[in-house]
């Protein structure tokens, strides 16, 4: 009986952290869909978001709402800046060059954070509720549950923006056919900026949540590696894929961590990654691109 | 394109070093390499060995990424395979170092083929991510296959011996590391005068066209993976002899990124680029250390700043070269050469 309870508790915790993978994966997919850039720096952007929040809330002692707002603004500015100074000049270069550029970007962000805040792990001020929460008999950390709830709200906002907002429609148009979008009068470079801004804001919010649960450190960017697995498994250009795969990877990591041991966490996800790459290289929900000469 | 070197035969056109001047410079370079340990102090010899090891590995990655167009983030893990094999053989069997190095290279090559198999179906970025997966899995094996790899504490090995002399100091190891590296670099540059090398380049430029022209894609991609990881394995073996402690943390993902950065900075698809890039990227942290040393009277916590500044400079070099000099240091070098070639008639 207790075994079942443990399984349920582990699964709930896994799905909870999977929500964070899902929104970070969403940020990744957004950039990929609109600009065809594989952004390996997403984990570092997330880390920077967490540190900026730390700077506002602990350093400047701002109230939670102001600090969160400030983080969102800074993350948006960062996204716009990255897009304008680094990604725009690479327009038309090979995707692999841009991919490597984002690796360099990740290194710059990590170094900057270490330079400002030091290399030691820090704790964010407590802003998520901390009392234990029970679903039936199963214990759920209320931090994880709240983070999951916030992540779900972010996802809903995201989907609504995509569906109804003018800019979101422009984004989808650009994603499906760049040239056609241009000829219909959509300002494609602006859409590029927009997608980077929204993605960085989303990653920043995810960073605030991840940091609140596990503390912050400059090595938080490793989170990005798991997100990479999420988006590959789900399909690089699929929003639904990112959501489903995010939850699934969170679950898988939690189960592997609980039943096999902590060191098996990344192993399990990466083995899954290899299997998916061998069987369905374009991911579970991704579009299968046909290449012609 | 240089002027004034009319090529009259195909042999001449294919030659590795096509002008007499170039051959003289090359001879000069070899003399300088041979004379280096006699004039330099221990620190510089240490650096020289490190640069040579990195050049060997970067050249291997250049074969795969620069010439075949398959991005790999697993180079450090392949080096790890080579290093572990060499360390294990040296400890348990005590075979001579050239046998160990060869075994390390071949073992890494086999693993490379295994990792390359997904390249049948995936390519480009997906492949790069598959190689990240490979390096995570290999790291797990290094850390958990305790009976062979010694687990987290790793392996500590005795120095290589040559004719009864223990090669335990950089100034002795120099004579092992540098000749091996020179051989490997020459081998790589000759590779691209053969059918296999040309096939690699064809695959990089357009893989479907290459297949139409009669190049079996999977086989050649696997060749490329095998060769590249062979280079990594031998370089890893040299690394093991150089540091003599091999642990799972010796070959992190950052190291793979380092080699990728080295060939980006040096120039992808150019042997010279791999050499320049590896040397440059190895020297930059040392230069930073020097600068920090100078600044320490004015900046009290300069040493604490070193590590983050190094990370930033590392990233900025990747980004800067990709945006402003995508063909890397090799292109800058060629420009310089052209300048002096025509000097003083054109400035």
| Residue ranges of domains in chain A | 14-279
Confidence of residue B11 (pLDDT cuts 50, 70, 90): confident
Is the bond preceding B335 in cis, omega lying within 30 degrees of 0?
A: no
Contact B137 A270 (CB under 8 A): yes
pLDDT higher for B162 or A228? Answer: A228
Residue B20 confidence (pLDDT) above 90: no
CA separation (Å) from A62 to A58, A70, A77, A172, B89? 7, 10, 20, 37, 60
CA separation (Å) from B101 to A228, A232, A236, A275, B91? 35, 36, 40, 32, 14
Residue B262 confidence (pLDDT) above 90: yes
Region class of A215: left (phi > 0), else alpha (psi between -120 and 50), else beta = left
A290 touches chain B (CB under 8 A): no
Residue B333 resides in a domain: yes
B326 touches chain A (CB under 8 A): yes
Q: How far is CA A231 from the centre of its chain?
A: 10
* pLDDT at res. B266: 92
Contact A97 B326 (CB under 8 A): yes
Can you say whether the dihedral through the CA atoms of A218, A222, A228, A231 is positive or negative? negative
Residue B6 resides in a domain: no
A104 touches chain B (CB under 8 A): yes
Q: Kindly identify which residue of chain A lies nearest to residue B125, measuring between CA atoms.
A: A96
Angle formed by the axes of helices A95-117 and B253-266, nearest 10°: 120
* Tokens encoding A203: 């990653």
Selected for mutation to probe chain B from A25, A43, A104, A227 (highest B CB count within 10 Å) is: A104
Contact A90 B322 (CB under 8 A): yes
The radius of gyration of chain A from alpha carbons, rounded to an integer in Å, stands at 19
Q: Which residue has the tokens 């450190």?
A: A217
A225 touches chain B (CB under 8 A): yes
For residues A139-167, give the mean pLDDT. Answer: 85
Q: How many helices (H) and strands (E) does chain B have?
A: 15, 4
Q: Kindly identify which residue of chain A lies nearest to residue B65, measuring between CA atoms.
A: A96
Torsion of CA A70, A72, A73, A79, to 10 degrees: 140
Three-state SS at A60: coil
For residues A72-89, give the mean pLDDT. Answer: 92
Q: Domain span at residue B192?
A: 40-342
Contact B132 A291 (CB under 8 A): no
A141 phi/psi in degrees, rounded to 5: -65, 125
Selected for mutation to probe chain A from B116, B126, B213, B265 (highest A CB count within 10 Å) is: B126
Q: How far is CA A159 from the centre of its chain?
A: 15
| Chain mean pLDDT for chain B | 88
Distance in angstroms (rounded) separating the CA atoms of residues A192 and B7: 49
Cβ atoms of A212 and A205 closer than 8 Å: no
Listed by number, the residues of chain B in 1-60 with a beta carbon closer than 8 Å to a beta carbon of chain A are none
In this complex, how many residue pairs, one in chain A and one in chain B, have their CB atoms less than 8 Å apart?
A: 127
Q: Tell me which CATH code domain A14-279 carries.
A: 1.10.3470
- Can you give the CATH number for the domain in which B71 is found? 1.10.3470
Confidence of residue A177 (pLDDT cuts 50, 70, 90): confident
For residues A177-181, give the mean pLDDT. Answer: 87
What is the per-residue pLDDT across A258-268, written as a single tens digit (0 to 9) for each? 888 878 888 89
Q: Kindly identify which residue of chain A lies nearest to residue B307, measuring between CA atoms.
A: A111
* Tokens encoding B23: 């051959």
Contact B322 A101 (CB under 8 A): yes
Residue B225 resides in a domain: yes
Distance in angstroms (rounded) separating the CA atoms of residues B45 and A12: 57
Residue B54 resides in a domain: yes
A256/chain B closest Cα distance in angstroms: 14
Selected for mutation to probe chain A from B128, B146, B315, B327 (highest A CB count within 10 Å) is: B315
What is the per-residue pLDDT across A97-152, written as a single tens digit (0 to 9) for each? 888 899 999 999 999 999 988 888 888 777 777 777 777 677 777 788 888 888 89
* pLDDT at res. B347: 57
Q: Kindly identify which residue of chain A lies nearest to residue B309, measuring between CA atoms.
A: A111
H/E run at residue B245: strand B245-246
* pLDDT at res. B108: 95
Residue B7 resides in a domain: no
* pLDDT at res. A131: 73
* Tokens encoding B331: 């292109």
Selected for mutation to probe chain B from A96, A261, A276, A283 (highest B CB count within 10 Å) is: A96
CA separation (Å) from B6 to A233, B9, B12, B26, B192? 55, 9, 9, 21, 22
CA separation (Å) from B305 to A48, A121, B7, B51, B319? 18, 17, 54, 24, 21
DSSP labels for B82-135? HHHHHHHHHHHT---HHHHHHHHHHHHHHHHHHHHGGGGT--THHHHHHHHHHH
Confidence of residue B301 (pLDDT cuts 50, 70, 90): confident
pLDDT > 70 in chain A, percent: 98
Residue B79 confidence (pLDDT) above 90: yes
Residue B58 resides in a domain: yes
Residue B13 resides in a domain: no
What is the per-residue pLDDT across A25-40, written as a single tens digit (0 to 9) for each? 999 998 988 888 888 8
Q: Predicted ipTM?
A: 0.86
Residue B12 resides in a domain: no
Q: Kindly identify which residue of chain B lies nearest to residue A278, measuring between CA atoms.
A: B118
Q: How many domains does chain B have?
A: 1
**Cβ-nearest to B140 among A96, A267, A293:** A267
* pLDDT at res. A120: 85
What is the per-residue pLDDT across B173-232, written as a single tens digit (0 to 9) for each? 898 999 999 999 999 999 998 999 999 999 999 888 998 999 998 899 999 999 999 999
Contact A96 B71 (CB under 8 A): yes
């Amino acid at each position: 009986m207790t075994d079942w309870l443990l399984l349920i508790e582990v699964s709930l915790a896994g799905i909870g952290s999977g929500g964070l993978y899902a929104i970070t994966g969403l940020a990744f997919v957004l950039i990929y869909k609109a600009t065809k850039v594989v952004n390996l720096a997403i984990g570092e952007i997330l880390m920077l978001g967490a540190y900026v929040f730390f700077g506002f809330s602990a350093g400047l002692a701002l109230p939670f709402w102001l600090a969160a707002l400030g983080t969102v603004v800074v993350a948006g500015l960062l996204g716009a800046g990255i897009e304008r100074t680094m990604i725009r000049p690479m327009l038309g270069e090979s995707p692999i060059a841009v991919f490597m550029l984002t690796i360099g970007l990740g290194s710059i962000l990590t170094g900057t954070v270490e330079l400002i805040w030091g290399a030691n792990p820090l704790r964010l001020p407590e802003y998520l509720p901390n009392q234990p929460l029970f679903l039936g008999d199963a214990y759920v950390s209320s931090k994880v549950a709240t983070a999951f709830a916030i992540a779900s709200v972010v996802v809903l906002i995201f989907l609504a923006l995509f569906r109804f907002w003018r800019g979101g429609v422009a984004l989808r148009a650009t994603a499906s056919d760049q040239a056609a979008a241009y000829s219909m009068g959509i300002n494609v470079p602006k859409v590029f900026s927009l997608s980077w801004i929204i993605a960085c804001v989303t990653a920043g919010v995810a960073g605030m949540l991840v940091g609140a649960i596990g503390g912050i450190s400059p090595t938080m960017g490793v989170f990005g590696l798991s997100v990479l697995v999420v988006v590959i498994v789900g399909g690089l250009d699929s929003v639904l894929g990112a959501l489903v795969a995010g939850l699934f990877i969170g679950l898988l990591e939690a189960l592997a961590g609980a039943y096999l041991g902590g060191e098996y966490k990344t192993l399990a996800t990466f083995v899954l990654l290899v299997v998916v790459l061998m069987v369905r290289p374009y991911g579970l929900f991704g579009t299968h691109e046909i290449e012609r000469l | 394109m240089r002027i004034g070197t009319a090529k009259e035969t195909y042999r001449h056109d294919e030659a590795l070093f096509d002008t007499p001047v170039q051959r003289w410079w090359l001879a000069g370079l070899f003399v300088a390499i041979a004379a280096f340990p006699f004039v330099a102090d221990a620190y510089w010899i240490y650096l020289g060995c490190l640069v040579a090891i990195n050049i060997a590995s970067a050249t291997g990655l250049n074969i795969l990424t620069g010439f075949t167009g398959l991005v790999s983030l697993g180079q450090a893990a392949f080096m790890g395979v080579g290093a572990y094999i060499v360390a294990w053989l040296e400890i348990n069997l005590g075979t001579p170092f050239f046998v160990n190095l060869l075994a390390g290279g071949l073992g890494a090559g086999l693993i490379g083929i295994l990792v390359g198999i997904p390249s049948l179906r995936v390519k480009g970025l997906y492949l790069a991510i598959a190689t990240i997966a490979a390096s995570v899995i290999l790291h797990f094996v290094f850390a958990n296959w305790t009976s062979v790899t010694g687990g987290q504490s790793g392996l500590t090995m005795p120095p290589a011996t040559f004719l009864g002399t223990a090669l335990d100091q950089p100034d002795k190891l120099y004579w092992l590391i540098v000749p091996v590296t020179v051989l490997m670099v020459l081998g790589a540059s000759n590779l691209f005068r053969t059918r296999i090398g040309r096939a690699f380049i064809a695959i990089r430029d357009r893989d479907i066209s290459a297949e139409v022209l009669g190049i079996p894609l999977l086989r050649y991609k696997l060749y490329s993976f095998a060769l590249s990881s062979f280079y990594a394995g031998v370089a890893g073996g040299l690394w093991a002899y150089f540091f003599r402690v091999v642990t799972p943390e010796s070959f992190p993902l950052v190291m793979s990124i380092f080699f990728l950065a080295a060939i980006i900075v040096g120039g992808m698809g150019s042997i010279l680029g791999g050499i320049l890039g590896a040397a440059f990227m190895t020297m930059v942290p040392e230069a930073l250390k020097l600068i920090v040393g100078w600044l320490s009277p004015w900046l009290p916590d300069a040493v604490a700043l070193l590590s983050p500044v190094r990370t930033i400079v590392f990233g900025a070099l990747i980004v800067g070269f990709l945006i402003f000099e995508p063909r890397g240091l090799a292109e800058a070098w060629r420009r310089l050469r052209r300048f002096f070639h025509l000097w003083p008639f054109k400035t």
